[in-house]
Amino acid sequence: MFYKGLLEKLDIDAQIIRHGKFKGAVEPLILDKMSVANREQMQLFLNSVADNIMDSIANQRGLTLSEIQRHADNLSLENAKSCLN
């Protein structure tokens, strides 16, 4: 959620100091949408989490990471029965 428009309507001026490329914590207060830099940062974070989860699943199930990634990419595991198979 972005609050820039709300703050403008309430005549509230956010006093924020930022330095550097990846400083997305204050973006909801000063922007109407996610910045390119913050989108890149969030995508890297989410990809890292997903990779960690898929690697863990592969290790626990005795499968290769590429098999797990293929299933995730194809959305081929829709329910518990298809996962068990």
State residue 21's pLDDT score: 66
pLDDT band at 30 (very low <50, low <70, confident <90, very high): confident
State residue 22's pLDDT score: 65
Task: Give the C-alpha separation, 66 to 71, whole Å.
Answer: 9
Establish how many alpha carbons lie within 13 A of residue 83's alpha carbon, considering only the half-sphere containing its beta carbon.
7
The mean of the pLDDT values for the chain is 87
pTM of the model: 0.63
Asked whether the predicted pLDDT for residue 70 surpasses 70, the reply is yes
State residue 44's pLDDT score: 94
Q: Domain limits of the chain? A: 1-33, 34-85
pLDDT band at 48 (very low <50, low <70, confident <90, very high): very high
Q: Give, to the nearest 10 degrees, the angle between helix 65-74 and helix 36-61.
A: 120
Q: Which residue has the higher pLDDT, 84 or 65?
A: 65
